Structure 1
Amino acid sequence: MTTISTDADLATLVNVFTVAPEKQRALVDVLTTATEEVIRHQPGFVSANIHASIDGTRVVNYAQWASAEDFQAMLVAPECREHLSAALSLAESDPHLCTVESVHHA
């Protein structure tokens, strides 16, 4: 479960993909399948959330990892490379590891 908190000791990935609108659904499907079949089974995986922009030009992956090292290890894991390559064949990626600095609720 994704819990966003400033005191959680997690590495937060915010990855914004820029995609042609006609490829957005394919990208969402690739990321969803990759996460379900391979990525969520990697050491240190906590959660992932895939968002599709209404205008069709962006897909955002908000993911949490136990550490930056766990995230980096996933990137080079052979079982993940094929899925990651498929996503990058559909869109440009702009990934950033972040810390949660502020959370607000109604």
Structure 2
Amino acid sequence: MPAQPADGPVTFVNRFTLTADPAEFERAFAETSRFMAERTGFLGHTLLRAVDAGAGTEYVNVAEWTDAESFRAAVSAPGFAPHAAALRALSTSDPALYRPVLRVAAEVVPA
């Protein structure tokens, strides 16, 4: 396992409210996802779609990065601007970067 950067892992959370068709947003997001997957420090992400209130128009992206510096380098990369513009054309968003404070996993009970 590679050594962790000094500032450790971070989680990027971005809540989207759509102003366009969900299928169009999901296509644009998939393009952004492919771009981010090639960036150094990207560990993975999950795009979630609201089930209840706001269903169909509310999404949340939760992305894991090895460190804040890697995340900032990715969103500063010249190739990122068109992706950001495409998502902004289809939604409004509320992004923030977080550092883990507490992580709890379910206990696995042997069968």
How many pairs does the alignment contain?
96
Deviation at 1:84, TM superposition (A): 1.4
Matches for 1:1-106 after TM superposition, within 5 Å: 9-20=8-19, 22-36=20-34, 38-54=35-51, 55-100=55-100, 101-105=102-106
Match of 1:6 in 2: none
What CA distance in whole angstroms lies between the structure 1 residues aligned with 2:37 and 2:72?
14
Q: Secondary structure at the match of 1:14?
A: strand
Question: What residue identity is the alignment partner of 2:48?
Answer: H
Question: What residue identity is the alignment partner of 1:93?
Answer: S
Q: TM-score, normalised by structure 1?
A: 0.80
Taking only aligned residues, the RMSD between alpha carbons, in angstroms, comes to 1.6
Deviation at 1:69, TM superposition (A): 1.1
What CA distance in whole angstroms lies between the structure 1 residues aligned with 2:14 and 2:104?
19
Question: What residue identity is the alignment partner of 1:98?
Answer: Y
> Please, which runs of 5 or more residues in structure 1 have no aligned partner?
1-8
Question: What residue identity is the alignment partner of 1:31?
Answer: F
Q: What are the superposed Cα offsets for residues 20-54 of structure 1, whole Å, 9 maximum, x if unpaired?
A: 4x522221221112212x11111111101111123
Which segments of structure 1 move beyond 3 Å, counting only runs of 4 or more? none
